[in-house]
Amino acid sequence: MEKEKFLGSLIGCAVGDAIGEMAFLYPKKELLCRKIEEAEKLIYTDDTAMAIAIARSLIKEGDIHEEKLGMELMEEFKKEPWRGYASGPPAVFRMVIQEGISFYEAAKRLYSGEGSYGNGAAMRIAPVSLFFHSLPSEKFYEKAMLSARLTHAHPLGIDGAAVQARAIAIAFEMDPEEEFPKKDFIEELILFSKTDKIKEKLILVKELIEKDVPEDVSASLLGRSVAVHESMPFAIYSFLKYPKSFKRCLLCAILNGGDRDTLGAMACSISGAYLGIGRIPEKWMKKLENFELIKELSERLYEVHNEYCRIR
């Protein structure tokens, strides 16, 4: 089942990203579902492109080497800059090239020296989460941090990515045939988080799930913006609301406004890690751009992960 979960998380990320991007044009459920049926291809954005770059780097290096990972991300951007990148990563890449500084040093300069707390590091984190899922909590956090701070150096940007990664890892370890322990899942994330703002939002997620608050109200309370503490918690909410259905999780994440493609990528990275590839609608996967490439990378990442575990 582990291999199916590797495939489920990375392909789930891409499917959620691509359909979330469509939801900007077709924000109503019935219309969106019809357009998905009519579409010849589901086109992903920078969320998936950067996840692909991270997977490639982990496969090549067998670990996170910051500068090599940064170069992989930069090369992916240079190859396809039209994928919808926000302004932060390209600015980091320009500073690295022009000034010869490290990616982290460049990332720290963004936004008047505070660094970015956008959701860009969280949206691409699935390969890191899968590769290091069995590490102890603190070591796991460190790996997520090393991946995030190449472009998102603000403590919130790092913490948001780490919490998203941990959510994927926890879901990965669970058996989808058993009853899903919602309370245990969110409480573990609350303990794992290192920033007050994200911890507060996760506590709110717990309350909203326990009280069965409607999706649209929950979305408004949690936020759906490009700031990681205003989007990642709603992605986790969407998964907790519908842990047994990839489709319902996705639709919850993307049909309540905001940063729809990234909400879809984050929520479906978790859902796919929990349910496995077999529970992602096959007709969606057949239409996914570069499906075979993502599938091959997922399988190879699984193999290199096993070798990493043997060596460690």
Structure tokens at 309: 């575990």
- Give residue 308's pLDDT band: very low, low, confident or very high (50, 70, 90): confident
Is 177's pLDDT higher than 90?
A: yes
For the chain, how many residues are written? 312
Residues 140, 144: Cα–Cα separation, whole Å: 6
Q: What Rg value do the Cα atoms of the chain yield, rounded?
A: 18
Q: How many CB atoms lie within 10 A of CB 26?
A: 16
Which amino acid is present at 26? Answer: Y
Domain 2-311, CATH class in plain words: mainly alpha
Split at pLDDT 50, 70, 90, the class of 63 is very high
Instruction: Answer whether residue 253 shows pLDDT above 80.
Output: yes
Quote the pLDDT of residue 312.
67
SS3 content of the chain, % helix, strand, coil (to 5): 75, 0, 25
pLDDT (tens digit, 9 = 90+) per residue, 19-32? 999 999 999 999 99
What does the block give as tokens for 50? 């950067």
pLDDT class of 185 with cuts at 50, 70, 90? very high
Contacts of 271 (CB under 8 A, 6+ apart): 8, 12, 16, 171, 239, 242, 243, 246, 249, 250
pLDDT at 311: 74
